[in-house]
Structure 1
């Protein structure tokens, strides 16, 4: 478990989205409202369902506009069903 005081239940996963680049290929900086929603993140905590095949600290790819967004101590998180995670990313 991580130092976050949230414990997902069932087949849910807590993910910290990774920020996408704020600069375009041509070097322009995008305003906050124009940025794409992140689709990659790091697993922070997992629920108690034995069918979850992820571990804490796995880097994952998830569906756009999925999960419930919220902040804890200024850090953004997504709480989502494990089926919304599309793939584990390998280095």
Structure 2
């Protein structure tokens, strides 16, 4: 692949459009399983950000990696919290003894 920034920008923009189209077609009954899957993907992204940031020597790359780690962590934890709250809506409340 080439190192041309225009090629990378084009791939990024096309992937954003594909992502928007795919997510907008999901029915509301599938949002909880979809969020759980997305949380697992964010865990992989977080692991990748930690590995890449740990192996770099550039100060700018470390700063960008730190931002990526923070954002991936917030997104992953927040997704699990929201998924847990959504699943609690479907659990039965125990009767007091």
Q: TM-score range by the shorter chain?
A: under 0.3
Q: Per residue, is there more helix in 1 or in 2? A: 2
Q: Who wins on radius of gyration, i.e. which is larger?
A: 2
Q: Per residue, is there more strand in 1 or in 2? A: 1
